[in-house]
C-alpha cells in the first residue's frame, strides 16, 4: 500500500433532527447568512422553514437566493456575488445537493476577488486553482450523491456559451455540513437512485483512471 496524507476540515454534523443545529453552527462564522437553495422542494418538505427558524433563533440575519438548477448557472453565481457584496454576507449556506453546493462555493470565492478579477474568465476558464480567499461555506445536505459537502471542487456552467468548467481549491471546502437523514425522506425513489448511481460512478471512475491522486480512493 502506498503512503498517503489525508486532511479534510469539514465538520460533519449527522443525525436525526440535526438540522436544528445549523443556526448554532452558522453563528460561529458571522451574523449575516446567504441562504442559497434550488427550487420549491425544500419549501414543500419543511427544510426551508426548519433552517430559517434555526438561523433566526441563533440571532442571524438571513438573505435568500434561490433558483439553482442542475449544472448550476454562471448567471446565478454572478447574481450571488453581487448580493453578498451588497449585503455584506459573512457565510454562504448551501441548502440542497451538489449543484447548490457548487454554486455556493463559486459565490463564496467570487465575492472575495479583487480588482478586475472575474470568477469565470480568470478562474473557471483557466482552471486556475490558486484561490487565495473565500467566504466560509456551510451546507445542509438534502440528497446523498457526489460528496460536494466536503470536497474542494465546484463545477459551473456558462449557460449562454454552453461551457461547463471546474475549479478545485482547499479554500472552498465547506466549514461544516449538517446531514439530517430526515431531509431525505421526501426524495422520490428516482432521485435516491440517481444519488446512489452518482456515488458508484465517482468510485468507479477513480478505479479505472490512471491518475496518481486517486490512489487513496482506490483503496
136 alpha carbon, distance to own chain's centre: 11
pLDDT of residue 209: 72
Q: pTM of the prediction? A: 0.89
Same domain assignment for residues 112 and 158 = yes
CATH of the domain at 37: 3.40.50.1970
Examine residue 219 and state whether it is found in any structural domain, yes or no: yes
Alpha helices in the chain (DSSP H): 22-26, 41-44, 47-57, 74-87, 98-110, 189-207
My answer on whether 170 and 181 are in the same domain is yes
User: What is the reported pLDDT for 61?
Assistant: 99
Range 57-73 average pLDDT:
98
Q: Which residues of 106-124 are buried (b: 16+ CB within 10 A; e: fewer)?
A: bbbbbbbbeeeeebbeebb
Cα gap 185→148, rounded to integer Å: 20
Shared domain check, 219 and 160 = no
- pLDDT the model gives residue 11: 97
Is the pLDDT reported for residue 2 higher than 80? no
Q: Which domain holds residue 217?
A: 188-219
Residue 217 scores a pLDDT above 60 = no
pLDDT of residue 143: 87
Above 60 in pLDDT, residue 219? no
**Cell 440575519 belongs to residue:** 61
Same domain, 134 and 151: yes
**142-191 residue pLDDT tens:** 988 778 999 999 999 999 999 999 999 999 999 999 999 888 877 778 87
CA 161 to chain centre: 23
Query: What number is the average pLDDT over the span 134-148?
Result: 92
The answer, yes or no, to whether residue 210 has pLDDT greater than 80, is: no
Same domain flag for 196 and 154:
no
Percentage of the chain lying above the pLDDT 90 cut = 73
Of the candidate ranges 33-42, 86-95, 183-192, the one whose mean pLDDT is the lowest: 183-192
Same domain, yes or no, for 181 and 201? no
Count of domains for the chain: 2
Amino acid at each position: 500500500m502506498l503512503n498517503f496524507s489525508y486532511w479534510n476540515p469539514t465538520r460533519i454534523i449527522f443525525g436525526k433532527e440535526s438540522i436544528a443545529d445549523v443556526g448554532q453552527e452558522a453563528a460561529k462564522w458571522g451574523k449575516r447568512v446567504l441562504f442559497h437553495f434550488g427550487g420549491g422542494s425544500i419549501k414543500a418538505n419543511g427544510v426551508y422553514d426548519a433552517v430559517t427558524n434555526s438561523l433566526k433563533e441563533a440571532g442571524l440575519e438571513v438573505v435568500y437566493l434561490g433558483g439553482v438548477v442542475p449544472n448550476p448557472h454562471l448567471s446565478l453565481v454572478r447574481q450571488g456575488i453581487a448580493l453578498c457584496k451588497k449585503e455584506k454576507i459573512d457565510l454562504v449556506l448551501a441548502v440542497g445537493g451538489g449543484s447548490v453546493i457548487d454554486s455556493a462555493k463559486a459565490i463564496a470565492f467570487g465575492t472575495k476577488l479583487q480588482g478586475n478579477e472575474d470568477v469565470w474568465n480568470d478562474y473557471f476558464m483557466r482552471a486556475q486553482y490558486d484561490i487565495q480567499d473565500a467566504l466560509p461555506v456551510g451546507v445542509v445536505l438534502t440528497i446523498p450523491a457526489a460528496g460536494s459537502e466536503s470536497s474542494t471542487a465546484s463545477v459551473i456552467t456558462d449557460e449562454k456559451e454552453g461551457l461547463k468548467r471546474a475549479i478545485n481549491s482547499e479554500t472552498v471546502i465547506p466549514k461544516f455540513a449538517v446531514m439530517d437523514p430526515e431531509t431525505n425522506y421526501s426524495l422520490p425513489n428516482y432521485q435516491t437512485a440517481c444519488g446512489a448511481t452518482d456515488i458508484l460512478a465517482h468510485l468507479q471512475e477513480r478505479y479505472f483512471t490512471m491518475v496518481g491522486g486517486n490512489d487513496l480512493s482506490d483503496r
